[in-house]
């Protein structure tokens, strides 16, 4: 999910690719309203993305570079970026395999272990005001994960959902109880992990090289269980092998599976403010499951 607006209305994707890579373009194929596949002189294929919010391309580029710097996961290389456009490698896809899924789990554990300066810390060079999908995301550092998670990830989206009438006051009170009890519900304290931050299945590409590639990060410092909870939220091929690979490298704290709903509160509330009702019901159910721990 990554977001912005403000592209040069007269500039076409192939022109942006040529300008940012300093290479001539020879062909293009529209992938969506915001993305175009462009062939550069010499045969290299890139994806040109148009930002859909202030700082959107800057945040995504900084996130990709931060994840790449860990040397743990595969992400598309950034070939150019400005306030309007981002140019990255195209990933050629094929069907996922159990071996690739298990390898992804090991790589995610290694990525998380690379750490972050603080919970909520943005990637180096990345903006504090970023995006997750089309929703704003505030990367403001905090020292305590329970307090930071409540104040910066759960409550802002809950308030917006209440203001828009998607969640009623009684339902909101359930989520607020979770926030008050977070210190006791969160499990053992852990250091800030280097998160992808928007790790749903659509942001995992299974490459033709036999490896998983991660795209569209909302990268920040956070709790490592959050990435894994998001990966479980909308389904992921061979998820059992992903989790098994993760446990081989850095076993999760006891009770992690019971805390999945707690970590899913954030993406479910984001989806509530973006897409409405069905996600609101899921968010409240996740809050109730967290309170039952």
Superfamily per CATH, domain 13-89: Phosphorylase Kinase; domain 1 (3.30.200.20)
Report how far residue 232's alpha carbon sits from residue 217's, in angstroms, rounded to the nearest whole number.
17
Segments making up each domain of the chain, as ranges: 13-89, 98-291
Decide if 96 contacts 201 (C-beta within 8 A).
no
Q: Over pLDDT 90: what percentage of the chain?
A: 91
Task: Please determine, for residue 201, whether its predicted confidence score (pLDDT) is greater than 80.
Answer: yes
Predicted pLDDT at 78: 98
Cα-Cα-Cα-Cα dihedral sign, residues 206, 207, 209, 215: negative
In this prediction, residues 118-127 reach a mean pLDDT of 98
Is a pLDDT exceeding 80 seen at residue 5? no
Across residues 145-153, what is the average pLDDT? 98
Q: How confident is the model at residue 32 (pLDDT cuts 50, 70, 90)?
A: confident
Residue 207 to residues 91, 96, 168, 211, 274, Cα–Cα distance (Å): 6, 8, 43, 5, 29
Q: Which residues are catalytic?
A: 198
This prediction's pTM? 0.94
What is the per-residue pLDDT for 3?
42
Average pLDDT over residues 134-154: 96
Domains 13-89 and 98-291 share a fold: no
**Class at the top of the CATH hierarchy for domain 98-291:** alpha beta
On average, the pLDDT of the chain sits at 95
Determine the average pLDDT of the residues in 136-164.
Answer: 97
- In a 13 Å sphere around the CA of 141, the CA atoms on its Cβ side amount to 13
Assign residue 6 a region (left: φ > 0; alpha: ψ between -120 and 50; beta: otherwise).
left
């Amino acid at each position: 999910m990554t977001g912005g607006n403000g592209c040069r209305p007269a500039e076409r994707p192939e022109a942006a690719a040529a300008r940012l890579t300093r290479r001539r373009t020879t062909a293009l194929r529209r992938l969506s309203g915001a993305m175009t596949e462009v062939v550069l002189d010499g045969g290299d294929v890139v994806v040109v993305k148009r930002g859909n919010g202030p700082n959107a391309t800057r945040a995504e580029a900084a996130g990709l570079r931060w994840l790449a710097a860990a040397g743990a996961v595969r992400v598309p290389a950034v070939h150019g970026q400005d306030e309007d456009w981002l140019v990255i490698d195209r990933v050629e896809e094929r069907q996922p395999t159990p071996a690739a899924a298990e390898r992804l789990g090991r790589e995610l554990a290694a990525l998380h272990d690379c750490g972050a300066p603080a919970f909520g810390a943005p990637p180096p060079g990345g903006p504090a005001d970023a995006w997750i999908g089309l929703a704003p995301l505030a990367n403001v550092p905090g020292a305590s994960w329970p307090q930071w998670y409540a104040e910066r990830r759960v409550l802002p989206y809950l308030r917006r959902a209440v203001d828009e009438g998607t969640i009623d006051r009684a339902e909101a009170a359930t989520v607020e109880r979770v926030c008050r009890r977070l210190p006791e519900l969160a499990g053992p304290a852990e250091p800030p992990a280097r998160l992808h931050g928007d790790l749903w299945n659509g942001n995992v590409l299974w490459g033709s090289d036999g490896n998983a590639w991660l795209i569209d990060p909302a990268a920040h410092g956070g709790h490592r269980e959050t990435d894994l909870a998001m990966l479980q939220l909308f389904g992921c091929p061979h998820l059992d092998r992903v989790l098994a690979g993760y446990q081989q490298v850095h076993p999760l704290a006891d009770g992690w599976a019971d805390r999945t709903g707690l970590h899913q509160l954030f993406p479910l509330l984001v989806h509530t403010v973006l897409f409405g009702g069905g996600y609101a019901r899921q968010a409240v159910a996740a809050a109730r499951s967290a309170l039952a721990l």
